[in-house]
Structure 1
Amino acid sequence: MDRLVSDFLMFVATIDPVGTLALFVGLTAGLAPAQRNRVAFLAIAYSAAILVAFIGVGQVLLGSLGIRLEAFQLAGGIIFFLFGVQMVFGVGAGATGAAPEPGHDVAVFPLAVPSIASPGSILAAVVLTDNRQFSLLDQAMTTGLLLAALALTLVFLLLANRIYAWIGDAGATLMVKVLGLILAALAVEMILGAGSDLLLEMHPPPG
């Protein structure tokens, strides 16, 4: 149960629904409600397809490169920690200040990529479903948690204007910082666990 909660929080923190909400409000300010909802549904659909694809492709890539799970977890933990620090002291991990070019579908860029299906959430999808550590049932449950985090993000987007009017800029900033702190703490746990496993592998106990 603890791992499920931890995995869900990892996905929520890396997807960053609050940071995505702020971006969504700015990008869809001139659209009718029906158009905003369509953009929200498409952004989540594109993101789900990308992240679920990386769950499969990422395993093949790691296996072909011969990268040890512990090394990948250690690198991932460091990156997650940096994302968390950025969220606490700067902008959200998933947010982007890039403006879409005219004629581009904002549901694809910058909402799906790189905001929702961000480098952090892609990395989380790969790390938390590694074939060498988790059974197919575990991976299926983790995929379900990913989809649950995306569903939560969809709710945020569908209610974006109401939520943003209620919490305002200050509330959104505070929530992003709290998510960043949670992500940094989870990252430290990942770093300590991977580092301990690597030390045991390099220096096994006698006997």
Structure 2
Amino acid sequence: MDFNFKEIFTAFMVLFAVIDIVGNIPIIIDLRKKVGHIQSEKASVIAGFIMILFLFLGQRLLNLIGIDVHSFAVAGAFILFFLALEMILGITLYKEDDEEALSATVFPLAFPLIAGPGSLTTLLSLRAEFNLENIIVAVLLNVIVIYIVLKTSRKIEKVIGPNGIKIIRKIFGVILLAIAVKLFAANFKMLVA
């Protein structure tokens, strides 16, 4: 076991920015209005399970289809880049097709809102740079934060307000943009070397 606080913190911040649970508070509140009740524990556990499962099986899946981790990390950097642009510019590049599915804790909350394409791609990109145990700790810490935010989403929205949520989204968008550039540079070098 090689626990490294810097790696855990960096992986936590990257995942936190990608999952953007605070920025998703308006969506969570909207879901609560439509559904009535969201099972915070179930959504958090399922999202955490999906992320950890993908962390272990994602590499094998890539090998099965003949893609190396560095290529996937470069692709992940592009996804992070576009997610960051969405957060900074307040635009929507990714559109959810199925509006009728907004009625369950598992879909769309646990997947794809929390454990979506961005976070799953990020996990494999992180795996190319960090130790596995540090990423697992970062995932578990994010699951705890997700649970707390889901449980207290109404209170958080009242305290921060809509403008506060927009500011937080933009700050994490800039952080995510910087991470995307770093991830791209590090893995692109490995591809062309």
Distance of 1:95 and 1:28 partners within structure 2: 20
Matched to 2:136, the amino acid is T
Which residue of structure 2 lines up, in the alignment, with residue 185 of structure 1? 178
Distance of 2:29 and 2:96 partners within structure 1: 13
Number of aligned residue pairs: give it.
189
Which residue of structure 1 lines up, in the alignment, with residue 57 of structure 2? 57
Q: 1:17 to 1:88 in 2, by over 3 A?
A: same
User: Among residues 120, 140, 146, which one is paired with 1:153 in the alignment?
Assistant: 146
Which residue of structure 1 lines up, in the alignment, with residue 115 of structure 2? 117
Match runs of 1:82-101 below 5 Å:
82-90=82-90, 99-101=99-101
Q: 1:152 to 1:164 in 2, by over 3 A?
A: same
User: In 2, are the aligned partners of 1:15 and 1:120 still within 8 Å (CA)?
Assistant: yes
Output the TM-score relative to the length of structure 1: 0.80
- How much does 1:72 deviate? 1.8
Output the TM-score relative to the length of structure 2: 0.86
Aligned-pair identity in percent equals 26
- How much does 1:195 deviate? 2.0
Q: 1:167 to 1:92 in 2, by over 3 A?
A: farther
Aligned to 1:128, the other structure's residue is in SS state helix
Q: Considering only CA atoms, is the larger Rg found in Structure 1 or Structure 2?
A: 1
User: In 1, are the aligned partners of 2:77 and 2:183 still within 8 Å (CA)?
Assistant: yes
Which residue of structure 1 lines up, in the alignment, with residue 189 of structure 2? 196
Which residue of structure 2 lines up, in the alignment, with residue 25 of structure 1? 29
Distance of 2:93 and 2:140 partners within structure 1: 19
After the TM superposition, list the runs of 4 or more consecutive aligned residues in structure 1 that deviate by more than 6 angstroms.
Answer: 92-95
Is there any run of 5+ residues in structure 1 with no aligned partner, and where?
A: 202-207
